[in-house]
Structure 1
Amino acid sequence: MFLQTTGRHARRRARWWHRWFRSFASADEGMSTAEYAIGTVAAAGFAGVLYMVLTGDSVVSVLRSVIEHAMTVQF
């Protein structure tokens, strides 16, 4: 069975798709100020944790040893 892509059925499918998409688009038109604030606080918290991890002694010593090993490799 082949799907018709022209005529009445195509227009019906297009209308169905349009109604379905419009129902999702109109349900929430954007983020509110509270959602922006929560997103900003979460991003700042993640950045702070990442900074603490990357500047910690263990990470710095591992990076230093990798760089020193790469500089002393004989070709």
Structure 2
Amino acid sequence: MTTLSLPVRPASAVRVARRLGDWLRHRYRTMAAGPPDAGMSTAEYAIGTVAACAFAAVLYKVVTSDTVSGALSEILDRALHAA
């Protein structure tokens, strides 16, 4: 019967296995937690702010137009004089 020679001593193999296990556990926890940057960046905030302001400006123009103002006034007059 021949003996198997290991390239590392058994005690150091156990240390390597433990370190590998620790690294794998840490890696799993890091990946399971999700990406560290889950929010928007500054550029995305700027684009979102500009888009919201543009939408607000368009909405303001639509609501203050003569057609919409007349329609809203007519709806309010009908509601008040319905009784």
Q: Do these two structures clear the TM 0.5 threshold for a shared fold by scoring above it?
A: yes
Percent identity of paired positions between Structure 1 and Structure 2:
47
Larger Cα-atom Rg: 2
1:23-42 equivalences under 5 Å are 25-26=34-35, 28-42=37-51
Corresponding pairs, count: 56
Structure 2 unaligned blocks of 5 or more? 1-28
After superposition, the CA RMSD in angstroms is: 2.2
1:65 maps to 2:70: no
Unmatched 5+ stretches in structure 1? 1-17
- Which of 47, 57, 62 pairs up with 1:53? 62
In structure 2, the CA distance between the partners of 1:67 and 1:38, relative to structure 1 (3 Å rule), is same
Give TM-score scaled by structure 1 length: 0.60
Residues 66, 20 of structure 1: alpha-carbon distance in 2 compared, 3 angstrom cutoff: same
TM-score (norm. length: structure 2): 0.55
